[in-house]
């Protein structure tokens, strides 16, 4: 109930902000009756109306996972975010190995499985994609001399 | 006759060694993705789409791969439904009703083989249906002008929005968010930058792959963590593997009827495999009369939903191929695949790209035969994949997803953006916002705006042009009916149930008193 309301207000805010930004979207030379701003403004208005409907109506309350699980989910999100950021900086193999350890831990792997799995996934997928399937992956600068 | 000529040309395309290998790989991967609980056709197609693109596969091969994966998922979903009572994808929910009881009775082998057979029949009939109906529909759709197209897309969105999710505002929010995301980037008519906030990466719009991977793959991993528990042990495969003649004869008509019904449900936008399998299951149950053991391991209860969900999955390819307007989340992702290759889906696709379309249709026939072989003699191999532990599966999916995003533009901006969208996707999915209208909105957004503006340019800004032709009026009425209809129907059902419940409670009260 509460989370729906909050989300409804967030959507309302989004639609108002969008309308304020979108109001100035005008083409320098208008040669057609409908310019670039009409469609987004229409959508944003509809979004605002539905957000209000969501706030005033009483939808079924969301069932959130228990707090310890939510903490894990949040941690997984952060790990993925860091993984995405380090993906091309550390290179695929190292980044994947590092990502696998905490993620596999959350899903019940033992430390041994996590470390071996991480190295296996990193190296194995690198060769599968980069060497066999021709999908270029980042090596990270420092690995370059070893992989050719 | 012309159709058969085209089909022969299609077989020439699909029959090249490379494309056969690709179809085989797609069938295999699809079956595995389908049987893993949590991953369904939409995740499978979403994850493999960018990789197919990065491998520089020609468009017809990429489409063959994606369709083989789609078909494979529909076959694979039933394996986990039967053996661990957890549907591998949404279409297989009904298969658990009789599949799991059969497996517990020691009939896991026959349950698997009969469902593979009925999946095969459903798919084959639906593919034949595509051959006959798709060209007719595409010829008819050429008469559509921009106003009709705009109305058609509104219809597609409202069909999906009306049928999925638990509340209309939520489905509407999902549609609108998808449509809004499609507005980001340079407006192609006027060159105005819209909602890019001076970020260079956004000037071309939000990449399709980023949205799809973020909303489907990344958020799925977070949902898997939420539902992660000690996995149920699959029921061991012992005893005979093949169905016998009596079982075969019992399901024959059920499979045939369900295939036909499933196919037509699939053609309608919005209603997909889930609706088709649920509908045919209850239809067969009613038709069986007294002489049945539905819910307790009836062969027909396994065959009917499987035939229907495969047939509807294939049927949903028709609006995608002929109108360019996908009716489901998975076909929306496939449309995205076509646009990555700069192919404009729509009624002219059959004329402009006959080799792609007919190659795809021919490969569906080939993929079906491959899948039948994989799913009856080779079933034991696939059952082994059910033992794959989550601690290995989740990092694997995470890495493959990011590889897909990275392969398109090779920037870490896309990766971080994708993961952020994954977080938003998780929140939306936990709060019961349906995601497939969002992706459909994103795919249709640009086309919708273009058609609207074109229609209004023709009429010089007069709005009445949108309701001018009989076709568009029918489409608008259909859209309104689809938005309101299912909810009114459901509310009536609920009221009926509640009345019954109240009566039952009163009875109990009277008896207790």
pLDDT digits (tens, 9 = 90+) for B386-424: 888 888 888 998 998 898 888 888 888 999 999 999 999
Instruction: Provide the ipTM.
Output: 0.91
Q: Is residue B484 pLDDT above 70, yes or no?
A: yes
Structure tokens at B432: 């019961």
Q: Report chain B residues whose CB lies below 8 A from the CB of A10.
A: none
B54 touches chain A (CB under 8 A): yes
State how far residue A147 is from chain B, nearest Cα, in angstroms. 18
* Pick among A39, A78, A105, A123 to test the B interface (most B CBs inside 10 A): A39
Q: Which residue in chain A has the smallest CA separation from B399?
A: A96
Question: Which of B54, B390, B456 comes nearest A108 by C-beta?
Answer: B390
**Yes or no, beta carbons of A72 and B225 under 8 Å apart:** yes
**Yes or no, beta carbons of A80 and B172 under 8 Å apart:** no
Query: B52-92: per-residue pLDDT in tens?
Result: 888 888 888 998 999 999 999 888 888 888 888 877 777 78
CB-based contacts of B132, cutoff 8 Å, min separation 6: B3
pLDDT at B512: 38
Q: Which residues pair with B193 in a beta bridge?
A: B186
The residue whose two tokens read 């004869």 is B249
Phi-psi group of B343: left, alpha or beta (phi > 0 → left; psi -120 to 50 → alpha; rest → beta): beta
d(CA B462, CA B466): 9
Average pLDDT over residues A44-68: 84
**Yes or no, beta carbons of B169 and A34 under 8 Å apart:** no
Q: Which own/partner pairs from B136-139 qualify as long-range (CB within 8 Å, at least 24 positions apart)? A: B137/B318, B137/B322, B137/B323, B138/B321, B138/B322, B138/B323, B138/B347, B138/B349, B138/B350, B139/B347, B139/B350
pLDDT at B230: 47
Quote the percentage of chain B above a pLDDT of 90: 21
Residues 311..340 of B with a Cβ closer than 8 Å to A: which? none
d(CA B131, CA B168): 36
Q: B71 exposed, middle or buried (CB, 10 Å; 0-12, 13-18, 19+)? A: buried
**Yes or no, beta carbons of B403 and A57 under 8 Å apart:** no
Q: Is residue B505 pLDDT above 60, yes or no?
A: no
Structure tokens at B134: 């798709």
d(CA A118, CA A124): 10
Residue B270 — pLDDT band, cuts 50, 70, 90? low
Question: Which of A59, A81, A104 comes nearest B419 by C-beta?
Answer: A81
SS (H, E, C) B273-288: HHHHHHHHHHHHHHHC
Structure tokens at B262: 């499933």
State how far residue B251 is from chain A, nearest Cα, in angstroms. 40
Of the spans A14-28, A41-55, B197-211, B218-232, which averages the highest pLDDT? A41-55
Structure tokens at B318: 């028709």
Query: B134-153: per-residue pLDDT in tens?
Result: 888 888 888 888 898 899 88
Reduce the DSSP state of residue A144 to 3 states and report it: helix
Average pLDDT, chain B: 85
Quote the percentage of chain A above a pLDDT of 90: 41
**Yes or no, beta carbons of A109 and B430 under 8 Å apart:** no
Q: Which residue in chain A has the smallest CA separation from B429?
A: A62
d(CA B131, CA B327): 19
Q: Which residue in chain B has the smallest CA separation from A117?
A: B392
**Yes or no, beta carbons of A117 and B187 under 8 Å apart:** no
Residues 423..442 of B with a Cβ closer than 8 Å to A: which? 423, 426-427, 430-432
**Yes or no, beta carbons of A3 and B431 under 8 Å apart:** yes
- In this complex, how many residue pairs, one in chain A and one in chain B, have their CB atoms less than 8 Å apart? 202
Q: Is residue B502 pLDDT above 70, yes or no?
A: no
Cα B326 to Cα A112, B149, B444, B456, distances in angstroms: 46, 13, 9, 24
* Half-sphere exposure for B306 (CA within 13 Å, toward CB): 35
Structure tokens at B511: 């008896």
Question: Which of B192, B226, B400 comes nearest A25 by C-beta?
Answer: B192
The angle that helices A67-90 and B412-430 make with each other, rounded to 10 degrees, is 170
pLDDT at B245: 83
Radius of gyration over every alpha carbon of chain B, rounded to an integer in angstroms? 23
| pTM, 2 dp | 0.84
Whether B243 and B110 have beta carbons less than 8 Å apart is answered as: yes
d(CA B386, CA B233): 9
**Yes or no, beta carbons of A87 and B169 under 8 Å apart:** no
- Choose among B378, B108, B80: nearest CA to B238: B108
Residue B213 — pLDDT band, cuts 50, 70, 90? confident
CA B256 to chain centre: 21
State how far residue A61 is from chain B, nearest Cα, in angstroms. 8
Structure tokens at A31: 């040669």
**Yes or no, beta carbons of A85 and B457 under 8 Å apart:** no
Question: Which of B51, B427, B449 comes nearest A39 by C-beta?
Answer: B449
State how far residue A148 is from chain B, nearest Cα, in angstroms. 19
Identify the H or E element spanning B481: helix B470-512
Q: Is residue B327 pLDDT above 80, yes or no?
A: no
Q: Which own/partner pairs from A116-125 qualify as long-range (CB within 8 Å, at least 24 positions apart)? A: A117/B391, A117/B392, A117/B395, A118/B395, A121/A96, A121/A97, A121/B392, A121/B395, A121/B396, A121/B399, A122/A92, A122/A93, A122/A94, A122/A95, A122/A96, A122/A97, A122/B399, A123/A93, A125/A92, A125/A96, A125/B396, A125/B399, A125/B400, A125/B403
**Yes or no, beta carbons of B180 and A44 under 8 Å apart:** yes
Q: Is residue B117 pLDDT above 50, yes or no?
A: yes
Average pLDDT over residues B200-214: 86
**Yes or no, beta carbons of B226 and A73 under 8 Å apart:** yes
d(CA B364, CA B23): 9
d(CA B254, CA B300): 6
Q: Report chain B residues whose CB lies below 8 A from the CB of A80.
A: 218, 221, 398, 419, 422
- Choose among B8, B288, B371, B324: nearest CA to B152: B324
**Yes or no, beta carbons of A4 and B392 under 8 Å apart:** no
- Choose among B274, B232, B295: nearest CA to B96: B295
Question: Which of B179, B389, B394 comes nearest A103 by C-beta?
Answer: B394
Q: What angle do CA A41, B476, B357 make, to 5 degrees?
A: 95
pLDDT at B86: 78
* Pick among B158, B202, B215, B391 to test the A interface (most A CBs inside 10 A): B391
Average pLDDT over residues A77-84: 94
Reduce the DSSP state of residue B429 to 3 states and report it: helix
Helices (H), B376-469: 379-384, 390-409, 412-430, 436-458
Q: Which of A28-37, B146-155, B193-202, B363-372 has the lowest mean pLDDT?
A: A28-37
Residues 163..202 of B with a Cβ closer than 8 Å to A: which? 166-167, 169-170, 172-173, 176-177, 179-180, 183, 187, 189-192, 194-195
State how far residue B222 is from chain A, nearest Cα, in angstroms. 6
Check residue A62 and report its DSSP letter.
P
State how far residue B49 is from chain A, nearest Cα, in angstroms. 13
**Yes or no, beta carbons of A47 and B173 under 8 Å apart:** yes
Query: B361-375: per-residue pLDDT in tens?
Result: 999 999 999 999 988
B458 touches chain A (CB under 8 A): no
Q: Which residue in chain B has the smallest CA separation from A77?
A: B423
B394 touches chain A (CB under 8 A): yes
pLDDT at B292: 75
**Yes or no, beta carbons of A60 and B228 under 8 Å apart:** no
Q: What angle do CA B408, B48, B124 make, to 5 degrees?
A: 140
């Amino acid at each position: 109930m509460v989370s729906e309301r909050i989300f409804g207000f967030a959507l309302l805010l989004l639609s108002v902000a969008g309308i304020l930004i979108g109001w100035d979207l005008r083409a320098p030379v208008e040669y057609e009756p409908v310019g670039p701003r009409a469609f987004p403004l229409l959508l944003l208005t509809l979004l605002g109306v539905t957000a209000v409907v969501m706030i005033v109506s009483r939808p079924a309350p969301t069932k959130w996972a228990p707090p310890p699980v939510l903490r894990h989910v949040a941690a997984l999100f952060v790990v993925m975010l860091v993984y995405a950021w380090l993906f091309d900086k550390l290179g695929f193999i190292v980044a994947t190995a590092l990502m696998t350890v905490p993620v596999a831990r959350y899903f019940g792997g033992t430390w041994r499985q996590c470390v071996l799995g991480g190295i296996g996934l990193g190296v194995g997928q690198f060769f599968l994609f980069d060497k066999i399937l021709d999908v270029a992956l980042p090596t990270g600068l420092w690995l370059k001399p070893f992989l050719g | 006759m012309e159709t058969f000529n085209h089909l022969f040309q299609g077989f020439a395309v699909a029959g090249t060694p490379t494309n056969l290998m690709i179809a085989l790989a797609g069938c295999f991967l699809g079956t595995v993705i389908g049987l893993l609980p949590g991953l369904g056709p939409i995740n499978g197609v979403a994850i493999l789409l960018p990789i197919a693109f990065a491998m520089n596969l020609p468009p017809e091969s990429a489409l063959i791969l994606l369709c083989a994966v789609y078909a494979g998922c529909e076959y694979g979903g039933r394996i986990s439904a039967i053996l661990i009572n957890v549907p591998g994808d949404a279409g297989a929910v009904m298969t658990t009703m009789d599949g799991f009881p059969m497996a517990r009775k020691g009939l896991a082998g026959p349950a698997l083989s009969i469902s593979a057979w009925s999946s095969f029949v459903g798919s084959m009939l639906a593919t034949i249906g595509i051959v006959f109906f798709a060209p007719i529909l595409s010829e008819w759709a050429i008469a559509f002008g921009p106003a009709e197209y705009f109305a058609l897309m509104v219809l597609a969105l409202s069909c999906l929005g009306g049928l999925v999710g638990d509340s209309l505002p939520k489905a509407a929010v999902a549609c609108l968010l998808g449509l809004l995301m499609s507005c980001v980037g340079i407006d192609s008519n006027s060159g105005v930058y819209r909602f890019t906030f001076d970020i260079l990466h956004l000037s071309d719009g939000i990449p399709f792959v980023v949205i799809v991977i973020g909303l489907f793959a990344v958020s799925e991993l977070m949902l898997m963590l939420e539902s992660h528990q000690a996995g149920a042990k699959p029921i061991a495969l012992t005893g005979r593997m093949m169905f016998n003649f009596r079982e075969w004869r019992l399901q024959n008509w059920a499979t045939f009827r369900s295939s036909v019904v499933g196919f037509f449900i699939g053609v309608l936008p919005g209603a997909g495999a889930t609706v088709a399998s649920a509908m045919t299951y209850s239809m067969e149950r009613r038709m069986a009369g007294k002489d049945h053991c539905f819910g307790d391991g009836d062969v027909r209860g396994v065959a009917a939903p499987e035939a229907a969900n495969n047939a509807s999955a294939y049927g949903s390819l028709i609006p995608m191929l002929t109108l360019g307007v996908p009716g489901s989340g998975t076909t929306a992702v496939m449309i995205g695949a076509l646009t990555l290759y700069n192919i404009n889906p729509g009624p002219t696709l059959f004329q402009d790209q006959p080799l792609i379309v007919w190659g795809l249709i021919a490969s569906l026939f080939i993929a079906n035969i491959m899948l039948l072989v994989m799913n009856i003699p080779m079933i034991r191999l696939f059952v082994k994949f059910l033992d794959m532990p989550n601690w290995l599966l989740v990092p694997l999916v995470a890495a493959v997803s990011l590889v897909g995003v990275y392969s398109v533009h090779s920037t870490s901006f896309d990766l971080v953006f994708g993961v952020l969208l994954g977080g938003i996707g998780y929140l939306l999915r936990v709060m019961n916002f349906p995601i497939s209208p969002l992706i459909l909105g994103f795919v249709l957004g640009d086309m919708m705006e273009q058609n609207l503006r074109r229609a209004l340019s023709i009429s010089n800004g007069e709005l009445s042009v949108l309701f001018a032709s009989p076709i568009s009026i029918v489409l608008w009425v259909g859209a309104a009916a689809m938005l309101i209809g299912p909810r009114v129907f459901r509310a009536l059902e609920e009221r009926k149930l509640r009345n019954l419940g109240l009566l039952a409670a009163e009875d109990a009260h009277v008896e207790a008193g």
